[in-house]
């Protein structure tokens, strides 16, 4: 608790903080945000599903960041006078969107699409880590080419039933169960690691 308060105070003063280093890959870099939004509170403690806020993750390339009215579905009733939420109320009143600083991005020359990954059952946790434990959001994985290729070369053990994609806790499956489930999905959808690692797949 004290550590958390300290970290929050440092953020307030410094504007940004290195939560965990690897500077180069921006892994662990928590950006200063207009509101100190906590996935730990909203997902970990309150159990809100990712798709409540990231509404387009199943249907489009982008997951999308929540519009202010989504926050207000709860915060017009909850914590209504809280100072930390003043920017949210202001945004609602003026119609000016909150500007969130992005932490998880790939360069423009890389093509990425959420919907296909979600449809095949790649869990959010594979690429974004334990978001449900983050008091402030940081990039959990390096989005370097090798990270993508490691999975594209052998996706089977990384696949799960699509209805479990937003579950953060690890599945209680043995390695053998994971692989045999994944191999069935690969066969059903004719997923071929050879085409998945073609340069044109991600550089279009
Ligand atoms: C489905 C309900 C719900 C939605 C939607 C929601 N919140 Fe919350 N929020 C809560 C609850 C419940 C708490 C109290 C959490 C606690 O005390 O542990 C909270 C607390 C907060 C706090 C106080 C600090 C903290 O994390 O405890 C902030 C800041 C906040 N929310 C920001 C937002 C923003 C920004 C959005 C929109 C992107 C949002 N909330 C959307 C339910 C919601
Ligand atoms: C109550 C709304 C809410 C819920 C539920 C929620 N998020 Fe978020 N998410 C946000 C907001 C607001 C931001 C922007 C601020 C930030 O980065 O913390 C964000 C940012 C992110 C980012 C960083 C994007 C970027 O490039 O900056 C990722 C990744 C993410 N969320 C994943 C998830 C996952 C995975 C879940 C479910 C386990 C989830 N979120 C649940 C509101 C939510
Ligand atoms: C296979 C890896 C992978 C999976 C699985 C994945 N993401 Fe992402 N996510 C990314 C990448 C890469 C980006 C950066 C995209 C960009 O810069 O265009 C990203 C960006 C985001 C963002 C920032 C906003 C946006 O639309 O770009 C949010 C929010 C997010 N992801 C949420 C989720 C949620 C929720 C899930 C699970 C339902 C999920 N992601 C599953 C790799 C993944
Ligand atoms: C944990 C496993 C995993 C990771 C990590 C991963 N992918 Fe994928 N990716 C898949 C699977 C599975 C498919 C679906 C193949 C299919 O159904 O044809 C896929 C498909 C794709 C496609 C094809 C989309 C389409 O419309 O045909 C692109 C592009 C892609 N991934 C880009 C990326 C990029 C860029 C990264 C890294 C930022 C990445 N992926 C990381 C598993 C992964
Ligand atoms: C599964 C997705 C994926 C595939 C397939 C892929 N790349 Fe990439 N590539 C990426 C990502 C993600 C980056 C961004 C790396 C970063 O930001 O550090 C990247 C970056 C690059 C770069 C920029 C320099 C660098 O290494 O950072 C070059 C050049 C490149 N790729 C060439 C290729 C070639 C050639 C192939 C085919 C042999 C290929 N890529 C296949 C995802 C992919």
Q: Which ligand is nearest to the CA of 105?
A: 3
| Spans of all domains in the chain | 2-65+100-202
Task: Reduce the DSSP state of residue 197 to 3 states and report it.
Answer: coil
pLDDT at 97 (0 to 100): 96
The CA distance from 46 to 40, in Å, is 8
Dist. CA 91 → ligand 2 center (Å): 18
pLDDT at 28 (0 to 100): 58
pLDDT at 155 (0 to 100): 98
The CA distance from 2 to 155, in Å, is 41
pLDDT at 39 (0 to 100): 97
Backbone angles phi, psi at 29, to 5 degrees: -90, 115
Residue nearest to atom 42 of ligand 3 (CA): 127
Angle, CA 51 vertex, CA 45 and CA 52 arms, to 5°: 65
pLDDT at 26 (0 to 100): 59
Q: Which of 34, 31, 32 is nearest to 86 (CA)?
A: 34
Burial class from Cβ neighbours inside 10 Å (0-12, 13-18, 19+) for residue 162 reads middle
Note the maximum CA span of the chain.
56
Contact 164, 121 (CB under 8 A): yes
Tell me the pLDDT tens digit for each residue of 125-134.
999 999 999 9
DSSP state for residue 33 in the 8-state scheme = -
Contact 103, 29 (CB under 8 A): yes
Contact 130, 140 (CB under 8 A): yes
Among 196, 203, 204, the mutation site with the greatest number of ligand 4 atoms within 8 A of its Cβ is: 196
Chunked into runs of 10 residues, the chain (204 residues) has average pLDDT values of 35 36 54 91 98 97 97 96 95 96 94 98 97 94 95 98 97 96 98 96 96
Does residue 8 have its Cβ closer than 6 Å to ligand 1?
no
């Amino acid at each position: 608790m004290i550590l958390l308060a300290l970290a929050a105070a440092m953020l307030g003063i410094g504007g940004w903080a290195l939560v965990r280093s690897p500077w180069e890959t921006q892994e662990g870099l928590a950006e200063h945000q207009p509101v100190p939004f906590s996935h730990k509170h909203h997902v970990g403690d309150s159990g809100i599903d990712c798709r409540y806020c990231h509404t387009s993750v199943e249907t489009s390339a982008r997951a999308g960041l929540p519009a202010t009215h989504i926050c207000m579905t709860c915060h017009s009733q909850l914590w209504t006078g809280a100072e930390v939420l003043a920017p949210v109320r202001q945004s609602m009143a003026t119609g000016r969107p909150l500007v969130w600083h992005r932490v998880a991005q790939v360069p423009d020359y890389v093509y990425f699409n959420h919907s296909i990954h979600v449809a095949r059952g790649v869990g959010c946790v594979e690429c974004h880590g334990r978001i449900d434990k983050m008091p402030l959001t940081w990039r959990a994985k390096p989005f370097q080419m090798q990270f993508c290729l490691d999975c594209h070369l052998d996706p089977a053990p990384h696949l799960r039933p699509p209805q479990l994609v937003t579950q953060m806790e690890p599945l209680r499956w043995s390695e053998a169960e994971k692989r045999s489930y994944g191999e069935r999905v690969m066969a059903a959808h004719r997923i071929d690691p050879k085409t998945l690692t073609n340069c044109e797949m991600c550089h279009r």
